[in-house]
Structure 1
Amino acid sequence: MIDLHIHTNYSGGQSNLKEVLQIAQRRKVSIIAITDNNTCEAYKELNNILIAKYYEGKIIPGCEFSTIVNNVPIELIGYNIDTDLAQEEISKLYLSKLDYNIYETNLIIQKCLEMGLKIDVSRIQYDVNKEKGKRAVFKEITRHIENKKYISDDAWNNCRTFLLTYTANPNSDFFVDFSSLIPSYKQVVELIRKCGGKVFMPHIFKYNENSKGVLETLVNEGLLDGIEGYYPYYSQEQQKFALEFAKEHNLYISGGSDSHGTPDSEIGIGRGNLNIPEKIISPWIDKTRMITQGGLDYEERY
């Protein structure tokens, strides 16, 4: 069993790196990939611990990058990357997490005001270092029952659904253009390949009615090496489609839980029914980049 899509507390996960390794060890996950959003800091930490103390499996270096395709904010994962070089390139292309959080939140607030939603901006408060401002905006929107006429029941009750359905959807009147905050998909693909990596599209159905167009754009432009064929939120029909699509278009297959340390998707097992076979990585894995033992910190070595 493998899990190639895991987040640590470097990108919103609830578990720190050592805890992630321990959970993977306990669940007997033979190969993992840490794929934090727009950061490879976890791999710097790996260089300073005795990995075998926490995890006896192998680690594929990776990172999940934010970008935009067809005006839709999406993510791409780079595997087999040189994480030191990737971190250097990230610092050139991406805003700091703090700045992005502020600018993103302000753009969403501006759109809400433009569309006539009732909100009290003074009540939108959040810890910019620890909390996502867009969640605070959502909380303020749903505080006013008058706004419900603009928003579906599913989105009204779930922040993630609201963001995907409205602010991140070019077909919505509430769409917010984040392109000034995020590098283009061609820049991200160039970054991944510069770092020696392969480009995968994770959770290919995440973007609702825009998913097909995003996937086709990336495939038609020859920018994808693979897609996420196994994902805890895929239906059986979606997983079948993903695997057949990969075969038809000569794409590699990856898979992962997208775990953030919460019960809705756990390392290795996802929602309880995930069991990704190790054999899927044999066509594309770069064994020279796999991490089996990090640099040893003096105190941990002795």
Structure 2
Amino acid sequence: MKIDLHSHTYYSDGQLSPKELIDRAHNMQVNVLAITDHDTVDGINEALDYQASLRREMQIMPGVEISTSWHNFDIHILGLHVNHGDTQFLARLAQQSAERDRRAQEISDKLAKVGIAGVFEQAKELAGVGQITRAHFARVLVNRQLVNDMEAAFKKYLGKGKKAHVKPQWISIQEAVTWIQDAGGKAVLAHPGHYDLTTKWLKRLVAEFAQVGGDGMEVIHSHLSPEKKKLLADLASEHDLLASSGSDFHYPNRWTELGKNLTLPSTLVPIWRDWNLSGMI
């Protein structure tokens, strides 16, 4: 069974609609797909309705990826198998959306100060129905040929310490865990191998996440070395965290694909252990 518990649509910084994402997941023979847009569940019902109209079986798991602040690092917490219609949960996520809009306007103001005007409007247009993110600003800079690619946009303008960087005012990891669990979901530390952390700080992050009641962590995600995979598996085991895996798919590219190379180590307990996957859509 192929299980991918981390993917994005154009409701946040992905480039595919829920329909397009599901079609691609079917083509990749994914059996269970979690849709985990940044700080929003707006695309979930559209995905569920589309999958329900198909004869091809695939189980869609409602999810979200919540942004948090931890010792000046942006850390993401996945909420898996959440009740995406819970009114309290939706109100809480609306706070995150408001912060995204505030941050986006300030990023635009900083870009204007260095002679790059009108970026907010174009980024908002690219975002469409979705959350506005730094990725949309990066795409505007690429489209204007001010940088060669998305990575260069972050290195020159949007990354930490750069000309248009704005420190977000996200909630704490503990708050994110509470929000997710209050909505009936499991809180999972997202892509711990991708943060710019030393091994010492990574160990501290995992330990503190476990201490505040986190349920699991992604021990398999894209672009991990064998050494990093082993480290993550060891940390999950040490702190009794359930194991999750996800591609963090955003758009078709040669580096990341839905459902690809996501097999968990047999020594770990999967996050879906107690879920009735066959009972999902």
Q: TM-score, normalization: structure 2?
A: 0.77
Aligned to 2:74, the other structure's residue is in SS state: strand
Percent identical pairs in the alignment equals: 23
When residues 66 and 210 of structure 1 are mapped into structure 2, their CA distance, relative to the original with a 3 A threshold, is farther
Pick one of 247, 270, 276 that aligns with 2:263: 276
The answer on whether the counterparts of 2:66 and 2:78 sit within 8 Å (CA) in structure 1 is: yes
Partner of 1:51: 52
Partner of 1:246: 236
Deviation at 1:228, TM superposition (A): 0.8
The answer on whether the counterparts of 2:142 and 2:149 sit within 8 Å (CA) in structure 1 is: no
Aligned to 2:76, the other structure's residue is in SS state: strand
Structure 1 stretch displaced more, 213-222 or 36-45: 213-222
1:130 aligns with 2:126: yes
The answer on whether the counterparts of 1:6 and 1:259 sit within 8 Å (CA) in structure 2 is: yes
Pick one of 230, 233, 236 that aligns with 2:223: 233
CA–CA distance in structure 2, aligned partners of residues 18 and 124 of structure 1: 29
CA–CA distance in structure 1, aligned partners of residues 100 and 55 of structure 2: 29
Q: Tell me which amino acid in the other structure corresponds to 1:12.
A: D
CA–CA distance in structure 2, aligned partners of residues 98 and 283 of structure 1: 33
Partner of 1:178: 167
When residues 168 and 192 of structure 1 are mapped into structure 2, their CA distance, relative to the original with a 3 A threshold, is farther
When residues 51 and 165 of structure 1 are mapped into structure 2, their CA distance, relative to the original with a 3 A threshold, is farther
1:201 aligns with 2:192: no
Aligned pairs (5 A) from 1:204-223: 204-209=192-197, 212-213=200-201, 216-217=204-205, 219-220=207-208, 222-223=211-212
CA–CA distance in structure 1, aligned partners of residues 280 and 104 of structure 2: 35
> Could you say which structure has the greater relative contact order, defined with CA pairs below 8 angstroms and 6 or more residues apart?
1
When residues 103 and 252 of structure 1 are mapped into structure 2, their CA distance, relative to the original with a 3 A threshold, is same
CA–CA distance in structure 2, aligned partners of residues 81 and 202 of structure 1: 16
Aligned to 2:193, the other structure's residue is in SS state: coil
Per-residue deviation, residues 216-240 of structure 1 (Å, max 9, x unmatched): 1452361332111111211111111
CA–CA distance in structure 2, aligned partners of residues 74 and 286 of structure 1: 26
CA–CA distance in structure 2, aligned partners of residues 206 and 161 of structure 1: 18
When residues 291 and 36 of structure 1 are mapped into structure 2, their CA distance, relative to the original with a 3 A threshold, is farther
CA–CA distance in structure 2, aligned partners of residues 213 and 165 of structure 1: 26
Deviation at 1:184, TM superposition (A): 2.7
Partner of 1:149: none
When residues 183 and 250 of structure 1 are mapped into structure 2, their CA distance, relative to the original with a 3 A threshold, is same
Deviation at 1:134, TM superposition (A): 3.8
Partner of 2:104: 101
CA–CA distance in structure 1, aligned partners of residues 155 and 69 of structure 2: 13
Pick one of 265, 271, 287 that aligns with 2:256: 265
CA RMSD of aligned residues (A): 3.5
Give the number of equivalent residue pairs. Answer: 266
Aligned to 1:64, the other structure's residue is in SS state: strand
CA–CA distance in structure 2, aligned partners of residues 267 and 127 of structure 1: 26
Per-residue deviation, residues 117-157 of structure 1 (Å, max 9, x unmatched): xx3233757342315564278669x95xxxxxxxxxxxx86
Per-residue deviation, residues 90-126 of structure 1 (Å, max 9, x unmatched): 11443175554223443x548xx6xxxxx32337573
1:89 aligns with 2:92: yes
CA–CA distance in structure 1, aligned partners of residues 140 and 15 of structure 2: 22
Gaps of 5+ in 1: 114-118, 144-155, 294-302
CA–CA distance in structure 2, aligned partners of residues 89 and 234 of structure 1: 32
When residues 164 and 32 of structure 1 are mapped into structure 2, their CA distance, relative to the original with a 3 A threshold, is farther
Q: TM-score, normalization: structure 1?
A: 0.73
Pick one of 175, 184, 188 that aligns with 1:187: 175
CA–CA distance in structure 2, aligned partners of residues 15 and 291 of structure 1: 26
Aligned to 1:53, the other structure's residue is in SS state: coil
